[in-house]
Structure 1
Amino acid sequence: METTHYISSNTLTIEDIHHIVVENKKLALSEEAKVNIQKCRDYLDQKMDSNETAIYGINTGFGSLYNIKISQENLSQLQENLVKSHACGTGDEVPQEIVKIMLLLKIQSLSYGNSGVQLATTERLIDFYNNEIYPVIYTQGSLGASGDLAPLAHLSLPLLGEGEVYYQGNKVPAKDILAHFGWEAMVLQSKEGLALLNGTQFMSAYGVYVLIKSCKYSYLADLIGTISLEGFDGRKEPFNELIHFIRPHKGQIITAQRVNEFLEGSEIIAQTKQHVQDPYSFRCIPQVHGASKDAIDYVKKVFKTEINSVTDNP
């Protein structure tokens, strides 16, 4: 079994994430991703060296300070200040299993080479993931579509040797972890703070987690429904594929097929029945469970697009 997942431009699916997490795979950048990240960083550096034009968030202030020009020597400090100032989340701590998915999704987004980050910054996030170093993040502070600013600031803070992380079950200062591994704190370059903070990896991680659970529960609902049908000595006819082909909702068809697969070889379901028709709750399993599958499938499509996108600004 492959123990490493190589981050690339290949589409990342919900199922991929499930396998990466469950199988505890390590992450590594593909050569394609390394080239793309470095190419974008080089382009931005060249543009900054040859152009005095104000570019929002790179050599200007943020928000209402958009028209304040920042000098070349203060560009790095600007990005560091952005991360520190937005690390103001509150509420409960985000579960580590969610933080793990956040790290994966942030690495994926940065790997496309559209964000202008340093290669070293992305690789340090991979170091965190592979060594199960999970930044302490709080549940409140996201601005939704405008960005998971506070949660992602807390995700990024340990890169600077600030904030706290969980390591081997203990909450410790991030600077101690950097010292433990012999890592230097990252010095953010122009735009990097913006690239790290402006994204949807917090809400997307929760969405992915819920979708993985929903798919599991959908499967179990079909299994439990089938066991219940058999326990009732029910009839198989409502699950005949011909019935569902003339009302071909995708989820409905899948549910009927799955129930038939579960019932294959069942002596109970094959025996002669004394009743003509089962209660409605059994007969409508494909329609009810199928509608749930269709809803889950729609949400999966939305999140699949989002987690394979670049969402930082500008």
Structure 2
Amino acid sequence: MVVLTGHSLTLEEVRRVVFHKEKVGMASESTQKVEKSHEAVKRIVADKKVVYGINTGFGKFSDVLIDQGDVKDLQLNLIRSHACGVGDPFPETVSRAMLLLRANALAKGFSGVRPVLIERLIELINNEIHPVVPQQGSLGASGDLAPLSHLALVLVGEGEVFYKGEICSANDALSKEGISPLTLEAKEGLALINGTQAMTAMGVIDYLEAERIAYQSEWIASLTIEGLRGIIDAFDEDIHLARGYVQQIDVARRIRDYLADSHLITKQGELRVQDAYSIRCIPQVHGASLQALDYVKEKLEIEINAATDNPLIFDDGEKVISGGNFHGQPIALAMDFMKIAIAELANISERRIERLVNPQLSDLPPFLSPEPGLQSGAMILQYCAASLVSENKTLAHPASVDSIPSSGNQEDHVSMGTIAARHAYDIIKNVNHVLAIELICALQAVEFRGVDKMASSTRKYFDEARRVVPTIAKDRQFSKDIERVSEWLRYSWV
């Protein structure tokens, strides 16, 4: 069981909860902190102190005071009015992660909610009731208002959920699991929606898949090196130590390990003096992408344990401060960085694909065709890869450089972090397909060279991959092969 404290959640724990459906609980010390924070909100309401979001309107309405008898209606009105997302829903994995991250943030005890609110979020996780949350509509400050409003609606029995493989009304799913809808109290609606959990949940799923892609790209590239009879000298440790980047050094070491006993690799001067950059510079390019992913990981590990709503309550209510922790700029920049880093893995992969299929660049059969001319072989696989990397270049344009004022210019700078996280997911899917294409081509190339000459490590990958996609004995509908290999790459890591 993953126990939420508000400060100790790890990406590995998120992965276990999201993909392996591990159960979740809340630490007793967190429950006590949450209780104290909620008591402070109750005193503020009883004493009629003016505090943003508790007895005032929101955004541009922050100067509008709310009567004590209307504070509960204020919270329900908030989530109903803000639930205006559009477009396809986030993947169910992202919705599940959103519940987890929102519960963990509230468990820090700075938000003034009742423990039952967090317990209800945990019940949704443990009963696999996942809110249907439209992907579009968030500016990334004040947090992910629209997406998190769709999540919050489920707690009051409204909206829709993923439940047992179908989409149904939240009320029906709650009823079947014996869960009663909540009536929100002072500040609870605001605490639920004022945060970065949509962009961060999407970002965590992005990162976990991106990390997987980065490591898979290395053994796939190793098969390509064998198929092209690449020069191993470029991966010599001394070269990479001379530059000093740890990630570059590690990539070179892993490539050497994959190819340790290969009879297909060459030494410089045997067949050629140098390989093209897409082969020779694998450690430098892949290593730089891993550097970017390390940066992204650091930001996500902070954000999944961050208090990101507003206002925050300190010192048992003696200090209540309106600030801007909901602003998604740290995650927006990280997501844009990750988009570029992962897109580059596809860019260099597509160039390796070209070298595998282009008869002017290698001595392999033209387009790896079994009967060049009569059969096109892998010719159009490269077209597909080229299209995907071109699309990625558009998606990699940074979202965080844009900002549109909102709420009557009260919220005059926003992050667009959720857009960045969504686009990162699209790029990752494209990269996955490009790597699948490289793998299909590399498998064919090493067959031509002689499978018995492969390294023992790459041979294991070859045998496993051949169970997913057969050799190209004649032309067929390769779209199905690409999808099958892509799915295998995606789900072999979970």
Q: TM > 0.5 between the two? A: yes
Q: How does 1:201-240 map to 2 (within 5 A)?
A: 201-240=197-236
Query: Could you say if the C-alpha distance between residues 11 and 259 of structure 1 is closer, same or farther in structure 2, counting changes exceeding 3 Å?
Result: farther
**2:39 alignment counterpart:** 42
**1:30 alignment counterpart:** 27
1:50-84 Cα deviation digits (max 9, x unpaired) = x3321011011112322222222221111111111
- Within the candidate set 182, 189, 192, 1:186 is matched to 182
Aligned residues of 2:75 and 2:186 also touching (Cα < 8 A): yes
What is the CA–CA distance in structure 2 between the aligned matches of 1:111 and 1:9, rounded to whole Å? Answer: 5
Q: How does 1:106-255 map to 2 (within 5 A)?
A: 106-255=102-251
Larger Rg: 2
Aligned residues of 2:6 and 2:105 also touching (Cα < 8 A): no
Aligned residues of 2:162 and 2:168 also touching (Cα < 8 A): yes
Aligned residues of 2:268 and 2:274 also touching (Cα < 8 A): no
What is the CA–CA distance in structure 2 between the aligned matches of 1:22 and 1:135, rounded to whole Å? Answer: 16
What is the CA–CA distance in structure 2 between the aligned matches of 1:105 and 1:197, rounded to whole Å? Answer: 12
What is the CA–CA distance in structure 2 between the aligned matches of 1:194 and 1:184, rounded to whole Å? Answer: 21
- Percent identity between matched residues is 42
Q: Post-superposition shift, 1:251?
A: 2.2
What is the CA–CA distance in structure 2 between the aligned matches of 1:144 and 1:61, rounded to whole Å? Answer: 20
Which has the higher mean CA deviation after the structures are superposed, 139-148 or 194-203? 139-148
Aligned residues of 1:37 and 1:114 also touching (Cα < 8 A): yes
Q: Post-superposition shift, 1:287?
A: 0.4
TM-score (norm 2): 0.59
* 2:302 match: secondary structure: helix
Higher RCO (CA < 8 A, seq sep 6+): 1
Aligned residues of 2:248 and 2:283 also touching (Cα < 8 A): yes
**1:302 alignment counterpart:** 299
TM-score (norm 1): 0.91
Q: Post-superposition shift, 1:235?
A: 3.3
1:107-136 Cα deviation digits (max 9, x unpaired) = 111111111111101111111111111112
What is the CA–CA distance in structure 2 between the aligned matches of 1:148 and 1:249, rounded to whole Å? Answer: 36
1:79-110 Cα deviation digits (max 9, x unpaired) = 11111111121112222121111111111111
Q: Post-superposition shift, 1:265?
A: 4.2
What is the CA–CA distance in structure 2 between the aligned matches of 1:19 and 1:103, rounded to whole Å? Answer: 14
Gaps of 5+ in 2: 312-494
What is the CA–CA distance in structure 1 between the aligned matches of 2:273 and 2:115, rounded to whole Å? Answer: 65
Report whether the alignment pairs 1:66 with 2:67: no
AA in 2 matched with 1:106 = R
AA in 2 matched with 1:45 = K
What is the CA–CA distance in structure 2 between the aligned matches of 1:32 and 1:303, rounded to whole Å? Answer: 24
What is the CA–CA distance in structure 2 between the aligned matches of 1:21 and 1:7, rounded to whole Å? Answer: 14
**2:290 alignment counterpart:** 293
Which has the higher mean CA deviation after the structures are superposed, 14-23 or 159-168? 14-23
1:230-288 Cα deviation digits (max 9, x unpaired) = 33333332222222122112321221122123234445559998236341332211001
What is the CA–CA distance in structure 2 between the aligned matches of 1:40 and 1:145, rounded to whole Å? Answer: 24
* 1:146 match: secondary structure: coil
Q: Give the aligned CA root-mean-square deviation in angstroms.
A: 2.1
Which has the higher mean CA deviation after the structures are superposed, 122-131 or 251-260? 251-260
What is the CA–CA distance in structure 1 between the aligned matches of 2:119 and 2:10, rounded to whole Å? Answer: 22
Query: Could you say if the C-alpha distance between residues 176 and 294 of structure 1 is closer, same or farther in structure 2, counting changes exceeding 3 Å?
Result: same
What is the CA–CA distance in structure 2 between the aligned matches of 1:54 and 1:186, rounded to whole Å? Answer: 25
Query: Could you say if the C-alpha distance between residues 269 and 214 of structure 1 is closer, same or farther in structure 2, counting changes exceeding 3 Å?
Result: same
1:267-310 Cα deviation digits (max 9, x unpaired) = 55599982363413322110011111112222222222222211
* 1:59 match: secondary structure: coil
